[in-house]
Amino acid sequence: TVKNFIDLANKGFYNNLTFHRVIDGFMIQGGDPNGNGTGGPGYQFEDELNPQAESYKGGYVKGVVAMANAGPNTNGSQFFIMVADYSLQHNYTIFGKVINGQDVADKIAKVAKDSNDKPLSLVIMKSVTVSEMK
């Protein structure tokens, strides 16, 4: 999952995509080239749900980054960032945690949106880069 995200980021796949679904008190979702929750990179991969992993045990808490999917083993490019602790079944592969910038995700979650949780104004990821922490 991490390799997939890094590969897509390094290819510029996420650049200029939107956060197409935002729910204050829950999460913000992005990574869909169609901008409506239906798109992906053109392939899918299996879930990585390891009950022994610390991330799995920690659950879906504020700052967690996980893959969005349409059911088992349908991961692609869409991901979500938790803006609050939320009780979800372990159906979404957790692969990261926000270290800096959670305040930005929190602000995105509060934008005006329609009845389908789509922001009324585009919320664009201008550039997504991955760097190694030292």
- On whether residue 85 sits in a domain, the answer given is yes
- On whether residue 119 sits in a domain, the answer given is yes
Q: Going by C-beta distance under 8 Å and a sequence separation of 6 or more, which residues neighbour residue 90? A: 49, 51, 56, 59
SS3 state of residue 3? helix
> The domain that contains 13 carries what CATH number?
2.40.100.10
How many structural domains does the chain have? 1
- On whether residue 62 sits in a domain, the answer given is yes
Q: Does the global pTM surpass 0.85?
A: yes
pLDDT at 56: 87
Please enumerate, as own/partner, the contacts of 109-112 that have beta carbons within 8 Å and a separation of 24 or more.
109/22, 109/23, 109/24, 109/25, 109/26, 109/27, 109/28, 109/83, 110/24, 111/22
Mean pLDDT of 25-47: 98
- On whether residue 130 sits in a domain, the answer given is no
- On whether residue 133 sits in a domain, the answer given is no
Mean pLDDT of 36-54: 95
pLDDT at 95: 95
pLDDT, one tens digit per residue, over 97-131 is: 999 999 999 999 999 999 999 999 999 999 999 88
Q: Can you give the residue range of the structural domain that contains 50?
A: 2-123
pLDDT, one tens digit per residue, over 51-98 is: 888 888 899 999 999 999 999 999 999 999 999 999 999 999 999 999
Taking a C-beta distance cutoff of 8 angstroms, is the pair 65, 96 a contact? yes
